[in-house]
Structure 1
Amino acid sequence: MDKFTRKTSFEQWFSPISTDLVEELVKASRLNYYTKKLHMASFMRLLLFAQLHETESLRALSDCVFSEELQNATNLNSISFSQLGRRLNQIPTEFFQTIFLDLVAQIHEKTDFQNRRKMTTPPKIIDSSTLPLNLNNHRWAKFRKTKSGIKLHLRLVFMEKGCSYPDKAVLTNAVEHDRGQLEVLVDDKECMYVFDRGYLDYERFDRMTDEGYFFVSRLRKNAVIRLIEPFELAENSPVLSDEMVVIGTTQNRPENVFRLIKVLDTKGNELQLLTNRFDLSADEIAELYKSRWAIELFFKWMKQHLNIKKFYGQSEQAVHNQVYIAMIVYCLNVLAQLNTKSKRTYLQISRYLKAALWKSAHIWLRKIQENSVP
């Protein structure tokens, strides 16, 4: 990042969002046609500001425009909450999804992800999290008698030193089962997919193996297993056993053989890990599965520090738009860390940003670059 800039910290932070891409998307969907006041550039900045400050409603966001600094940043003197609501409902989710994917591509480039794939098979973690909704306002998302909700199915690129980031997302009603999303989230043969037993699907595991995709998953305790051949364990290995097995009953059995590794978790419970990767050691497979904690931390961080507890709109489109805006904010924090080679956490970067939001960008950049990697 340019250390000497006249931009505010807020402008510097969201600068990775491509102006050309936004204009192209706006033009393609005719989003500024017949718009006298709330153009997409202004609306995007308002939504990013709302996420940073965890603004609880569109009415509260409308009141925030009273701030002279926010007026300068958005080119708005005032805006009603009803105008904000209509705009949020009108914008196709593909608009925010495309911006999110463009930021992911920038992160790939900054982390040299393509070269990493040539040298190894980096893990991608798959999991989902349910985001609860108000049943009275969101009946389209009803999944139990008294509950509504949507499910965020996510694929997370795991990297060491805490730099993990989402690179693909699917939003469905909470009633949808996780297994159905494997077809969408598994699309790269040069990666290792890590997921929990919620995605257990013998038929899909067979197809993944036949098509050249690698995975490690947790197996249910009551799974039917037939031993083919035990493998020798390394000396002092924490792994309990390592075996080649056939899984499933006669009626429901994959054609391929798999590898079953038994380990103990931190609480002393036995875990059965299933994989189709035979060239790695049992210890390496166990470590790969441990990387799954990163997606749990991501969901926890997202729910605690991004504004997806209260949704601004009642329509499916408005809810999905808000989730994508939250992930855009997360990606901007990742890029801020990468661009400055900062050792600050995403939370620290966000806190310093809020403290210096309307000050010159170099003040924020200097703070997050303290003790940075040379």
Structure 2
Amino acid sequence: MDKDTLFSSFGKWLSPICSKMFHTQIAKSGQDKYVKKLTTLAYLKLFLHAQLQQREGLREIADDVLSKEFQRELGLETISAAQLSRKHSRVNPDLLQQIFERLAKQILSRHGCSIANRKALRIIDSTTVALCLQRYKWADFRKTKAGIKLHLRLAFADAHEVLPEKATITTARKNDRTQMDDLIHEEGITYVFDRGYVDYRIFDRYCSDGIYFATRLKENAMIEPLQSLEIPEDSKVTMDERVLVGSGQKRMKHKLRMVETTDSQSNLLILLTNRFDLSCDEISEMYRSRWAIETFFKWMKQHLKIKHFYGTSQQAAHNQVWLTLIAFCLLMLAKLDANVEHSLLQIQRWLKALMWKPYALWIGRMKRKPSRKSAGRRRLEPT
């Protein structure tokens, strides 16, 4: 019997999680100590299935267990919404974060992303998920609104594909700059981020530590021009200078490079970077690549379950965000395994349609070449 017939499509999709390391983590953490029915693995299967099916609440998730195929997958015949609620609030978010980071590392390794490339690039940004203040009082944001913020670092696999690599979750009130140490720390990589992350003291540290960055200049920034750099004749750049930034005690010790260019809508962009080894056009293209993270956030909010939460506690909300990122990574790994060009959304649709069929049927469908119309749409999606 072919190995692909031994797995349902859903079971195969989840297989990257079910590693020896995962079971070791569970045993070490004591997460399933004294648990007889709803183990952490069963919890992951239930809630990742809910991600795919876009379930609205815990009762719908509990009703999914009425399926005989799902019962065989879970080793359960029934589960209640109350049991799901308790488990969802008790699973340690750090465990789910570790699963996400391990899956992300697998994806990046298989794509060959390496800091050895002098143009190695990471995009840093955040997105806010609005919540009801009456139900989520711990997630204080504004007087009439609550929210959490997902801070994310994305890597580029190629010109079209962006891959989530690392994330942190905070309340929406938290300033983006507070997460820089968690997301930005590797030498030899250029980190691209917007003005919300500008901090001259940290920039001086990056210059000393060999960490590259590119960002936008704040409107009220104090700039002292030192030297004009040569601009190629056919360049879209209108200014390239070596400068000192800041004034008084906030003045940077290291010199930076200031590049003036325009975005795709012809709006003026004034960029700051500590990279002097690249051309001014390479610097401007690096910053323009920030659009990819906005496209990723839009895709994630549209196609994964992150707008409606299954629990109101901080732990439950964080767990759902990690589950969303895990689901995204599992879809990317499925695409890599099949070595196909279809969009993640199309692969997800086929998985939902063939969930309890043998994996051979799902991969066979993925192996069909996409139509020209589908291939054109792929450029508008994160993958």
TM-score of Structure 1 vs Structure 2, range by shorter chain: over 0.9
Question: How far apart in 1 are the matches of 2:315 and 2:79?
Answer: 21
1:2-41 equivalence runs, <5 A? 4-41=4-41
Question: How far apart in 1 are the matches of 2:92 and 2:53?
Answer: 24
TM-score (structure 1 length as normaliser) = 0.95
Report the identity percentage: 44
What letter is aligned with 1:110? R
Q: Deviations over 1:111-157 (max 9, x none)?
A: 122xx322334100000011111211110011111111111111111
Contact 1:163/1:334, CA 8 A, preserved across alignment? no
Contact 1:8/1:361, CA 8 A, preserved across alignment? yes
Give 2:69's aligned residue.
69
Give 2:215's aligned residue.
217
Give 1:231's aligned residue.
229
1:117-136 equivalence runs, <5 A? 117-136=115-134
Question: How far apart in 1 are the matches of 2:210 and 2:204?
Answer: 10
Q: Deviations over 1:69-111 (max 9, x none)?
A: 2212211111000000000111111111111111112112211
Q: When the two structures are aligned, how many residues end up with a matched partner?
A: 369
TM-score (structure 2 length as normaliser) = 0.93
Which secondary structure does the structure 1 equivalent of 2:99 belong to? helix
Structure 1: give runs of 5+ residues left out of the alignment: none
Question: How far apart in 2 are the matches of 1:131 and 1:304?
Answer: 12
Give 2:381's aligned residue.
none
Question: How far apart in 1 are the matches of 2:21 and 2:29?
Answer: 12
Give 2:198's aligned residue.
200
Contact 1:334/1:346, CA 8 A, preserved across alignment? yes
Contact 1:141/1:173, CA 8 A, preserved across alignment? yes
1:343-354 equivalence runs, <5 A? 343-354=341-352
- Once the 2 structures are TM-superposed, how far is the Cα of residue 216 of structure 1 from its aligned partner? 0.4
Q: Deviations over 1:150-201 (max 9, x none)?
A: 1111111123242211111111111110011111111111211000111011
**Which of 353, 356, 365 lines up with 1:355 in the alignment?**
353
RMSD: 1.4
- Once the 2 structures are TM-superposed, how far is the Cα of residue 222 of structure 1 from its aligned partner? 2.6
Give 2:164's aligned residue.
166
Which secondary structure does the structure 2 equivalent of 1:21 belong to? helix
Contact 1:3/1:365, CA 8 A, preserved across alignment? no
Q: Deviations over 1:327-357 (max 9, x none)?
A: 0001111111112211011111111111111
1:72-111 equivalence runs, <5 A? 72-111=72-111
Contact 1:125/1:194, CA 8 A, preserved across alignment? yes
Which secondary structure does the structure 2 equivalent of 1:119 belong to? coil
Q: Deviations over 1:271-319 (max 9, x none)?
A: 1010000000000011111111111111111111110111111111111
